[in-house]
Amino acid sequence: MKLTLRVWRQRNADADGAMSTYEVDGISADMSFLEMLDTLNEELILDGEDPVAFDHDCREGICGACSLVINGDAHGPERTTTCQLHMRAFKDGDTIDVEPWRASAFPVVKDLVVDRSAFDRIIQAGGYISAPTGAAPEAHATPVPKPDADSAFEHAECIGCGACVAACPNGSAMLFTSAKVNHLNVLPQGAPERETRVLDMVGQMDAEGFGGCTLTGECATACPKGIPLPSIAAMNKEWLRATRKARKVGR
């Protein structure tokens, strides 16, 4: 395949950015999108130009590092991560726009790389449990109802890629935060910090400058792991419950 790429180039966080146009040839339909960008970068390096900076790590859809807006969609035209998107999703002669995540809470570091450390700080605010040290407890010592275990697994699938934020017209991180709150709050092991977790993580989310949620649902549509929209409603319920309890005890 021969493709025209229009790629966002930005030297650093303070510089102005702009789209640059490149032609790439000999692209196999079996290449991943990142392998296609590798091909572009090899050519840029051979020409003595600065290669395009983009994030990636596992290239297996696990780590959430890859993060590109492709033709206006977070992770591109298929519901998967950018590293799992293959060039068979495009046609010979296509023009493809490649941009970084667009959200004020995710400032551009260089080209297609954005700073997503705001997510780390939300996790640090409450995405943990008070685990006693020592030997592992007997597996059946703490029974977990099957629906709760299924819900915890569903929310734990979030890989923190940030597609929900990039897809949201408000730049909201509600789907990410709700996945991280709910996957611990539904389990008995998460009960000791149940209230402080949701209050602190939502507080940190607001402090990071993410937008408010107006339930447009773009986040759940873009999520490569299928975190469902009702996850946000479940977190709101947890937040209301925790707020009421905190008021009662005068916190």
* Contacts with ligand FES, residue ranges (CB under 6 A): 56-59, 61-66, 81-83
Q: Which is nearer to ligand FES, 13 or 62 (CB)?
A: 62
SS3 212: coil
d(CA 177, CA 231): 9
* Cβ atoms within 10 Å of 54's Cβ, excluding its own: 22
**Residue 123 beta carbon to ligand FES: minimum distance, rounded to whole angstroms:** 17
Instruction: Lay out the sheet containing 18-24: strands in order across.
Output: 18-24, 3-9, 95-99, 69-70, 73-74
**Least Å from the CB of residue 114 to ligand FES:** 14
CB of 149 to ligand FES, least distance (A): 25
Residue 232 Cβ vs ligand FES, minimum distance, rounded to whole Å: 23
Compute the least distance from the CB of residue 84 to ligand FES, in Å: 7
Q: Which is nearer to ligand FES, 80 or 170 (CB)?
A: 80
Nearest to ligand FES of 199, 222 (CB atom)? 222
Phi then psi dihedrals of residue 134, to 5 deg: 120, -165
Give the list of residues 6+ apart from residue 157 with CB closer than 8 angstroms, or none. 179, 225, 226, 227
Q: Whose structure tokens read 């296609």?
A: 36
Shortest approach of ligand FES to residue 33 CB, angstroms?
Answer: 10
Taking a C-beta distance cutoff of 8 angstroms, is the pair 107, 113 a contact?
A: no
Q: Smaller CB distance to ligand FES: residue 75 or 194?
A: 75
Q: Name which of 35 and 206 has its Cβ closer to ligand FES.
A: 35
Burial of 145 (0-12, 13-18, 19+ CB in 10 A): exposed
Q: Which is nearer to ligand FES, 32 or 185 (CB)?
A: 32
Q: In whole angstroms, how far apart are CA 249 and each of 1, 194, 199, 243?
A: 65, 15, 15, 10
